[in-house]
């Protein structure tokens, strides 16, 4: 999510492919270095409710996750 623009596709690829994964890892790091938060929309296996999972490293991304959403870090308003 980019202020003034909304949703912007940063990178996409298949993490099972080495080149794609390297590109995804690089973009993930770049976003976090720029001070963004990363979240993965998930569905709770217990009750089927949707929620989000904050991820701090690429390895935290659950297997099979379709997307990671980056958004600006929260600050007191």
Partner 1 sequence: MLLALLVLGLLAAVLTVPIVMRGASAVRVRRSARSRRRAERRELRDPGRERRAEQRARELLRSCVNDEEWSMYRDLGFIRVRGGLGTGGPDGMTPQRRRRRARPGTSEDDAVPNYAYLIYPHKPIVAYVPRTGRLLSEYCVEFPDLADAIAASRLPDSDDVLAKWMALTADERRLISDANMHLPGRQIDPDRVRRDLWRLREWDRLRRGPDAVRSSGP
Q: What is the closest distance, in whole angstroms, from the C-beta atom of residue 41 to partner 1 in the complex?
A: 4
Residues 16-45 vs partner 1: string with x where CB under 8 A? ------------------xx-x-x-x----
24, with CB counted inside 10 A (0-12, 13-18, 19+), is buried
Q: What is the closest distance, in whole angstroms, from the C-beta atom of residue 27 to partner 1 in the complex?
A: 15
Q: Which of 54, 59, 62, 63 binds partner 1 (CB under 8 A)?
A: 54
Residues 58, 69, 14, CA angle at the centre, nearest 5°? Answer: 55
């Amino acid at each position: 999510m980019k202020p003034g623009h909304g949703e912007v596709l940063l990178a996409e690829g298949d993490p099972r492919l080495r080149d794609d994964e390297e590109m995804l890892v690089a973009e993930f790091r770049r976003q976090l270095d720029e001070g963004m938060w990363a979240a993965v929309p998930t569905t709770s296996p217990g009750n089927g409710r949707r929620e989000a999972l904050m991820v701090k490293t690429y390895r935290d991304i659950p297997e099979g996750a379709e997307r990671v959403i980056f958004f600006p870090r929260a600050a007191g308003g």
